[in-house]
Amino acid sequence: MRIQPITPGSRPELAELETRIQGARGRISLLYQVLLNSPPVAAGWEQMLSSIRNHNSLPAGLREMIILRVAVINRAPYEFDAHVPHALAGGVPQSTIDALRSAALPTDAGLTPAEAVALEYADTMTRDIAVPDVLFARVAEHFQGQALIDLTATAAAYNMVSRFLVALHIGH
């Protein structure tokens, strides 16, 4: 790891923030222990990521499949492993989770058309950044309004998470 994590409870000035993170997450993970090196970033991160994870209009399984894909593409195994239990709890079969580990987008993983295009969208956002109009049109057939924003924000936010983890060697 490239930066020392902050041990929860070791700095009184972080007590309130640690309590919020603990309340929202159930624990203070290694990622948040590193984020505590910058309390303003940790606070904003927790608020944004909690909104994306806990107040998202996407079905939980789809949200987690997107997170898993982004983690695979960005070579962030810590993130992938952290979200497998959430994917299972969201109803994603283990066989689908296993298929999502492939660098190539799975084509035969029992996905619905909406799930397949959402994963293609997340893959494209992650690999190419720019999304071609033809793909966006296919995405818009299944996702509009809040669902489209939530889909896009999930892929974008977890690109941030995985890139942070990889850059700082968190969980290596």
Domain spans, the chain: 12-54, 60-167
Helix (H, G, I), strand (E, B) or coil at 107: coil
pLDDT along the chain (172 residues), means of 10: 96 96 92 98 96 94 98 97 97 96 86 96 98 98 98 98 97 80
The whole-number pLDDT of residue 109 equals: 78
CATH tag, 60-167: 1.20.1290.10
Contacts 24+ apart (CB under 8 A), 89-93: 89/60, 90/59, 90/60, 90/61, 90/62, 90/63, 90/64, 91/59, 91/60, 91/61, 92/61, 92/64, 92/65
How distant, in Å, are the alpha carbons of 66, 92, 132 from that of 145? Answer: 18, 24, 19
The whole-number pLDDT of residue 14 equals: 97
User: Both tokens of residue 38?
Assistant: 């910058």
Closest CA to 171 of 53, 45, 86, 74: 74
> The pTM is what?
0.94
Residues counted in the chain: 172
